Amino acid sequence: MSERAIRNGIRERLRGEVGRPPLRDERFKVVALYPSPYAVGMSSLGFQTIARLVGEHPGVSCDRAFLPNDPAVWRVSRVPLFGYESGEPVRSARVVAVSVAYELEVQGLIEALDLAGLEPLAAERGPNDPLVLAGGPLTFSNPLPLGPFVDAVILGEAEDLVGPTLDALLGASSRREALDALERLPSTWIPSRHGERLPALAVAGDSWLPAHSPIVTPGAELASMALVEAERGCSRGCTYCVMRRENRGPMRLATVDRILARIPAHARKVGLVGAGVSDHPAIVEVVSRLADGGRSVSLSSLRPDRLDDAFVGALARAGAQSLTTAVDGASERLRLQVKRGGKTEHLRRAAELARAHGLGRLKLYVMLGLPGETDDDVDELADLATDLSRRCPVSLGVAPFVSKRGTPLDGLPFAGIATITAGLRRLKSRLRGRAEVRPTSARWAWVEWVLAQGTMSEGRAVLDAWRAGGGFAAHREAFRRIARPRQRPVLGASP
């Protein structure tokens, strides 16, 4: 692809955006980089929030850049990755601020830095290269694999730290001074100085709530949708989840008025965001008022035990075409084991409510490979989905369980690619013609698990894998070379 075609494609995306603040002409330039394509990055409330806060800071301009949809095609053009607003190379910025959602985006970060003409390894970048700072949801669990590639990481909720971080960098005259200043800030991990010792996670003040996305774009996965945070955290205690109340404290609520006030007048579609957004005590009122105003509404999460006639009715009036909720454990026994609130009776009621309100489909997310899972659990899931499908068409989104740091299930092994694949095969064969099964890759879930449980060495291995083509086999080989005893049995279980 030619440079002209690339730039025209980006201009076309920018033309579709509504609400984009103008790029200020300041001497200190930051690029907010998302290590996945534009459609994903622009659906991230956290990415949009941080880009907005950086761009509002005195003396700072904030551009955006994304991993191209097809990095190989971009690479042929030999154009260094550039900022969407300025068209200037990312490497000419003073700071590259990266938001990383989860483990598999580490490879996207490597790719994006390389396309920008920067060495992926922080230790190999020069004094005139931008500082690379990271933050985002991955920092809530295990940011260690990011360590080799970044100069610093803000852990946790970054809003209160954006200003002090930028002030520290604005006042520094060298890379060393910048790192000295960052080292004095709380919740800021500097891998080259701290090694693998992580500081405590930052908790932002309530005044930042609700976060909201300034830019609405048809090019996002959540197309043309304004995103507003209805609450932060979760009041529940599912043992596999980093957002559980024991980790993050109780759920913090935005008031109805503040939520509604953050929705831009032009937005016809609204996404209400939050780990436990359906637990917001006024959620039905918020959805109803948006529906009454002619807006369609989506929620980032719906707990099945919260669904009742008023709630599902409000969602239907707000344009919902389907009802999406999570089962998580394959059987009631496993759901109890991981302290998941939803029960079989809630799912039956959800299917009935979906049918009663004319929603075309019940979509359920479920994990396979929880500790102690047997064929009987998988069969119970198949029986449940069959039962539900008599009330309403059903889709199952199936993802393997990946144990995360800082949760009670931390350190558990991956069930094994062969085990997950066998469970999926069993489920699909029992549900053929009754319910749709949409699995995520067991192989890449294993890579995610290695990184979720890993250290800077596993992060460094992703670079080796990327250099060897970036596929699953390259990752398996790179991890095998550094496998520690804890991982060997599971590596052996891989295909």
Interface with ligand SF4 (CB under 6 A): 234, 236, 238, 241, 243-244, 275-276
Interatomic CA distance for residues 112 and 132, integer angstroms: 12
Least distance in Å: CB of 311 to ligand SF4?
16
Least distance in Å: CB of 248 to ligand SF4?
9
Give the number of C-alpha atoms closer than 13 A to the C-alpha of residue 163, restricted to the C-beta side: 6
Residue 61 or 300 having the CB closest to ligand SF4: 300
Least distance in Å: CB of 323 to ligand SF4?
17
**Any idea what the Cα angle at residue 478 is, between residues 477 and 483, rounded to 5°?**
90
Buried b (16+ CB within 10 A) or exposed e, 394-416: bbbbbbbbbbbbebbbbebebbb
What are the distances in angstroms from CA 443 to CA 80, 423, 462? 32, 14, 15
Q: Which residues contact 209 (CB under 8 A, 6 or more apart)?
A: 229, 231, 232, 252, 253, 254, 258
Least distance in Å: CB of 275 to ligand SF4?
4
Least distance in Å: CB of 276 to ligand SF4?
5
Residue 274 or 393 having the CB closest to ligand SF4: 274
Least distance in Å: CB of 279 to ligand SF4?
8
Least distance in Å: CB of 245 to ligand SF4?
7
Quickly count: other Cβ atoms within 10 Å of residue 164's Cβ. 15
Give the three-class secondary structure for 85. coil
Single-letter amino acid, residue 310: A
Residue 243 or 318 having the CB closest to ligand SF4: 243
Residue 168 or 234 having the CB closest to ligand SF4: 234
Give me the DSSP letters along 194-263: HTT---PPB---GGGPSPB-S-B-TTSSSTTEEEEE-EES-S---TT-TTSHHHH-S-EEPPHHHHHHTS
Residue 33 or 234 having the CB closest to ligand SF4: 234
Interatomic CA distance for residues 267 and 102, integer angstroms: 28
Least distance in Å: CB of 371 to ligand SF4?
16
Q: Which residues contact 491 (CB under 8 A, 6 or more apart)?
A: 476, 479, 480, 483
Q: At what angle do helices 442-452 and 456-467 cross, to 10 degrees?
A: 140
Residue 245 or 480 having the CB closest to ligand SF4: 245
Least distance in Å: CB of 238 to ligand SF4?
3
Residue 163 or 341 having the CB closest to ligand SF4: 341
Residue 64 or 303 having the CB closest to ligand SF4: 303
What are the distances in angstroms from CA 310 to CA 169, 317, 354? 51, 10, 12
What are the distances in angstroms from CA 88 to CA 114, 338, 494? 16, 49, 44
Tokens in use for 388?
């539900």
Residue 62 or 251 having the CB closest to ligand SF4: 251
